[in-house]
Amino acid sequence: MSRQPRRTWSLFSTTALALIGSISVILVFALTAVTWFVMVPMAKRSADDLAALIVLSAQTWTELPKEAQPLLAAELKNQHGLIIQEIPALNRLHSTNLPYVRFLHNAVVHRFNQCPPGTIDPQTGECIYMGSLPQGAGYWIEIPIADDVLKFEFSPSRVGYKIPFTLGVILVGGILLTLLLGLGLARRLTRPVSRLAEQVSLGLPDAPLPLTGPKETRVLIEAVNRRSAEVKRLVENRTVLLAGISHDLRTPLTRLSLSLALAQDALEAELHDQMQADVEQMNQLIGEVLSIARGVNQAPLESVDAHTWLAHCVASAARRGITVQLIEPNTQARFALAPPTAQRILDNLIDNAQRYGRPPITLRRLETADAHIVCIEDHGTGLTMDEIITLREPFARKDAARSGVTGYGLGLSLATALAEAQGWQLELYAPGAHPYLSPGKQPSGLTACLILPKSPGHPQANPLAKI
């Protein structure tokens, strides 16, 4: 059973989560402390004040004559927002569990001296009950006093201290502030490193990166700038050296080629042809080295008809004595590519298939949702994945992977560099590993695919720096 790769979080994500988590813990602790030591005591104090008013009003009601009780009811309603009335019997049912209502009930019970005979519920042991009015109109409390049962009603605005509402406001505000603060701090701390990672992922930057962020980040950016400058100087020196050596070699090769032409009659034909082939091979090697020395730049893209361009590549191979079979889907397509660069890559792949594989050689066009794919397939012995990795290295000799062949080890590296400079991909697949064909249609040899994104990607900076 294959092990799933461990998920990697970005620096911004880990920093933001750490900050938000830390601030959230502090916020929860602060809310708990404020609730327990500030809000709950204030709510109990407010409930106790209202309980004192209710108990005093109930006692006053029973002492007043019947004709004076309406005056007391009017005053309580106008001055304190309380509605008092007599009811036949106790409801004996609690219908709310709000913290403030419980505080108020306990305060009334505490201030109430004793329940009248026959008013205590045997199941609950209480004679004072509270509940909510219909449709959230407010709350009620029933108190048995003397021979009467009084019911007080008051609106939600009369509740002196709303613990759930206050907690909700503080919690929502704290969460929003925590998110904003955590994301802001994380972005400020990680932005320089993120920019550095983005630049380095595209290749070493050509110009020095600005020194921003905290001290440690500035030290890191300065080290990358210093290393980039060293690599740039190394590449420039190597380029000058390769160009100089290759140019100096061209002069004696030219004299040698001229001498062979002049001495053609004095030499045996087979020896002359062998020496001329050696000179041409050396010229080819020097040409490849000069291409590396000059560097690879991104060429401008053109829109070309896929069938026309691929047919041109097949005709070019035919002029070199190579037979290539073109296989395309029935749909028409257009490529956004640099024709000279793409032609050079395909010529290199076709020549390799002819030199190291066996016919038939197939040029196949495929298409996915986000890319056009051009594959060169041969029917040789193919390569293993380890051999493919080896051959991708610069100056890797192909005869180290396939016996009986010779080469300089620069063609595939140069083709890869050309593709990367355009934002393309050049992939090699072992026999049976073609990802775009079913098992029954797999070629027996090597498959080389040039992947052209339909949306042009980012070209790799300095693609020849690794050659």
pLDDT of 32? 82
Per-residue pLDDT at 191 exceeds 60: yes
Per-residue pLDDT at 246 exceeds 70: no
More confident residue, 282 or 68: 68
**Mean pLDDT along residues 28-47:** 81
Q: Long-range contacts: 127-130, Cβ < 8 Å, 24+?
A: 127/90, 129/90, 129/91, 129/92, 129/93, 129/94, 130/94, 130/95, 130/96, 130/101, 130/104, 130/105
For residue range 38-48, what is the model confidence (pLDDT) as tens digits?
778 888 888 88
Confidence of residue 466 (pLDDT cuts 50, 70, 90): very low
CB 407 within 8 A of CB 398: yes
pLDDT of 397? 61
Q: Is-above-0.85 flag for pTM?
A: no
Token pair of 297, please?
A: 């730049």
pLDDT of 464? 43
**What mean pLDDT is reported for the chain?**
78
CATH number for the region 11-164 comes to 3.30.450.300
Per-residue pLDDT at 196 exceeds 70: yes
Confidence of residue 240 (pLDDT cuts 50, 70, 90): confident
Q: How many residues does the chain have?
A: 467
Lowest mean pLDDT among 212-216, 325-329, 371-375: 212-216
Matching CATH topology for 11-164 and 217-294? no
**Mean pLDDT along residues 85-112:** 79
**Which of 94, 82, 99, 109 has the alpha carbon at shortest distance from 42?**
99
pLDDT of 170? 73
CATH architecture, domain 217-294: Orthogonal Bundle (1.10)
CB 23 within 8 A of CB 181: yes
pLDDT of 1? 41
Please report how the helices 411-421 and 339-356 are oriented relative to each other, as an axis angle in degrees rounded to 10: 150
Per-residue pLDDT at 293 exceeds 60: no
State the Cα–Cα distance between residues 429 and 418, nearest whole angstrom: 19
pLDDT of 375? 92
Confidence of residue 311 (pLDDT cuts 50, 70, 90): very high
For residue range 159-183, what is the model confidence (pLDDT) as tens digits?
655 556 666 777 777 778 877 877 7
pLDDT of 401? 44
State the Cα–Cα distance between residues 185 and 78, nearest whole angstrom: 53
CATH architecture, domain 302-466: 2-Layer Sandwich (3.30)
Domain residue limits, the chain: 11-164, 217-294, 302-466
Lowest mean pLDDT among 47-61, 71-85, 209-223: 209-223
**Mean pLDDT along residues 220-227:** 82
Q: In angstroms, what CA-CA distances link 232 with 57, 191, 201, 218?
A: 92, 26, 16, 21
| 208 upstream amide cis, omega within 30 of 0 | no
State the Cα–Cα distance between residues 235 and 464, nearest whole angstrom: 9
For residue range 128-164, what is the model confidence (pLDDT) as tens digits?
888 888 887 888 888 888 788 889 988 877 765 555 6
CB 428 within 8 A of CB 261: no
Considering 85-99, 312-326, 427-441, the range whose residues carry the highest mean pLDDT is 312-326
Confidence of residue 299 (pLDDT cuts 50, 70, 90): low
pLDDT of 296? 58
Per-residue pLDDT at 463 exceeds 50: no
**Mean pLDDT along residues 285-306:** 69
For residue range 351-404, what is the model confidence (pLDDT) as tens digits?
888 888 888 899 999 988 888 899 999 988 888 787 877 776 666 665 544 444
Q: Which amino acid is at 446?
A: L
pLDDT of 74? 92
CB 91 within 8 A of CB 121: no
For residue range 62-89, what is the model confidence (pLDDT) as tens digits?
888 888 889 999 999 898 888 998 888 8
